[in-house]
A and B are shown apart, each in its own frame.
Chain A
Amino acid sequence: MTVTSTPPVAPGRNPQLRARRLPVVAPVGIAVAAVAVAAVLVHGTGIGGAALVVALAVLLHLVGLYAASSAVEGRRRARDRTWSALIHSASVLALLPLASVVWTLVSNGLDRMDRNFFLTSMNNIGARDPHGGAYHAIVGTLEQVGIATLITVPVGIACAIYVVEYGRGGLTQLIRFFVDVMTGIPSIVAGLFVLAFWILIVSPYLNDGRPGYSGFAASLALSVLMLPTIVRSTEEMLRLVPASLREGAYALGVARWKTILRIVLPTAAPGIVTGVMLAVARAAGETAPVLLVAGGGAAINLNPFENNQSSLALFVYQQAGDASRYAPARAWAAALTLVALVLVLTITAKLLARRNRFGR
């Protein structure tokens, strides 16, 4: 075959497919050398300890890998290798503190995971008393989050229905915008709002003219935080309901509201439940708003509408700030309890979402 005209672009005449590769042991060798050099440098100059050796070794390894690879395999492969090494290092780096959090949480938390912890409160527990528990805080968390859920679920779902099913034009856009704004409200600001509104203005009327903290006020603050999350996730789920379902119902002459309640909502229900559970999990871990409006408290108070209440998150915070030498153990135990509660909710929600995804 003769090539008469000049080939269009630089001719790739029989490009070489084989490429020189770094031997498999090379990265390992570079790593060992990097550690050695780092150790010599650090200990030789006496400027640091093991942590510095590791950090320096990683750096040297990356540089060495890039140099060796680009000498043998070319720049492109060298870059590929170095980025790959960087990405793996980032993963390990991220894993360390997160693993440490989990480990300390479990190992410290288990110390006080006893009957006493779950069945008693902090009432009359002095600084020298190793006992004391979080019963009152657990009750507080459950009541506050429960009431907040009761408030936000109907309102949130109805709001989402309005936006998705009925909404037209300006008002809907406005509501969506405000839901966005609400999503960004810091939890402490939600607490301040309830403080300014409920505690300082409304509660004196219910409480002989004196402002009073209550679990219900905490529920209100948590509601402000939960509402936008629930609206958002419900909105998304409603949009996923296929048009054909709705149209099928309309074609049968079923009224719109009934179509929504009987057909659209049940179809979207698993997804909505997932969203609600995630919002609940989030709310259960909030400390700041509860601190501002529930007031905390050492004794068991089953009535969320009157007097101070604590919550698990607040209990952790208060015990952490307590000078008693027994307080840290209580704080960690409460933290572990709180995390367990939140994780159970989260895992259930995610599994539900996953099953739902496959089910569709």
Chain B
Amino acid sequence: MATRIEATNVTAYYGSFKAIENITLTVEPKTVTALIGPSGCGKSTFLRSINRMHEVVPGARVDGRLTIDGQDIYARDVDVTAVRRMIGMVFQRPNPFPTMSIFENVVAGLRLNGVRRRSVLEEAAERALRAANLWDEVKDRLGKPGAGLSGGQQQRLCIARTIAVEPQVVLMDEPCSALDPISTLAIEDLMFRLKDRYTIIIVTHNMQQAARVSDRTAFFSIERTGEPGRLVEYDDTQKIFSNPREKRTEDYITGRFG
């Protein structure tokens, strides 16, 4: 079962400001793809275009073509909520629902889908929490507020919440930037394991992280502030980090980016 994402000339705007321009790339199924680049280069914007979260911001819109398994997700009769169910997302800062327990957080998506049976929910919650490597830490306090966990645990809770609805793709927007090194390691481990089942796209500022976890890397950049971000280079991670085609990529990776 393949879930290939193809972006063709994707351009995204915030009102009249063009944030990214003509991004064209293909993400292969069951790989981890890292999006890297300097701040403001539009990598998060591109990520959010993939599950149509970009348009949540008032005045934001997307041009171009984005398909998942050949289905255009921006086609007129597409159900946005179906897109988002199929393409899950983990955010920069852990954002469990503050008023819900750990259990309720994990099954929030399933409840939306109309799953009511307690046994089904419990089973799914355990499975998702195990997959997110969190089960052993929380199994005795599922009824406690999710926000009472540590930052790393919260982020894994959010991952569990995302995969509980069985998406095909998981987008991660700098999932470790608010976490300490140990939690970061735990999340990176997790990505390796999730790769068997999901296509993962991760935005990261951390070059080592991109090198460690991803199969493919896309380097985004901007000419200067106010210009739209563009895709500079997209290749196997190994290639990007050892022998990039573009001078700008090399400069950025080696820290010489100005």
Contacts and interface: CB of A to CB of B under 8 A. Distances in A.
Interface of A: 1, 3, 7-21, 75-77
Given A1-B30, A12-B166, A17 B112 contact: no
B182 interface: no
B75 interface: yes
Interface string B83-116: 1011000000000000000000000000010100
B167 A12 contact: yes
Given A8-B197, A9-B164, 19 more contacts: A1-B2, A1-B29, A1-B30, A7-B166, A8-B131, A11-B1, A11-B166, A12-B85, A12-B168, A17-B83, A17-B86, A18-B75, A18-B79, A20-B77, A21-B77, A21-B79, A75-B114, A76-B112, A76-B114
A205 to B, nearest CB: 58
B254 interface: no
Nearest to B196: A5
A106 B85 CA distance: 52
Contact of A9 (B71, B75, B79, B166): B166
Contacts, number: 57
Give the top 10 A-B pairs by smallest Cβ distance, nearest first. A19-B79, A9-B166, A17-B78, A17-B71, A17-B82, A18-B77, A12-B166, A15-B86, A8-B127, A18-B78
A87 to B, nearest CB: 18
Contacts of B176: none
Contact of A16 (B75, B82, B114, B164): B82
B73 A17 contact: yes
B124 interface: yes
Contacts of B2: 1
Contacts of A19: 77-79, 82
Given A8-B166, A19-B77, A75-B114, A14 B197 contact: no
A271 B85 CA distance: 45
A1 B86 contact: no
A23 to B, nearest CB: 11
A15 B127 contact: no
Contact of B71 (A11, A12, A18): A18
B63 interface: no
Interface string B163-192: 010111000000000000000000000000
Contact of B127 (A9, A11, A12): A9
Contacts of B164: 9
A343 B15 CA distance: 35
Interface string B51-92: 000000000000000001101010101110111011000000
Contact of B166 (A3, A10, A17, A21): A10
Nearest to A21: B77
18 contacts: A8-B131, A9-B127, A9-B164, A9-B166, A10-B166, A11-B166, A12-B86, A13-B1, A15-B82, A16-B82, A17-B78, A18-B75, A18-B78, A19-B79, A19-B82, A21-B79, A75-B114, A76-B112
B165 to A, nearest CB: 8
A19 B111 CA distance: 20
Nearest to B81: A76
Contact of B79 (A7, A13, A14, A17): A17
A287 to B, nearest CB: 41
Contact of B1 (A1, A8, A16, A76): A1
Contacts of B197: 7-8
- Interface centre among B1, B29, B79, B81, by most A CB within 10 Å? B79
Contacts of B127: 8-9
Contacts of B131: 8
Nearest to B3: A14
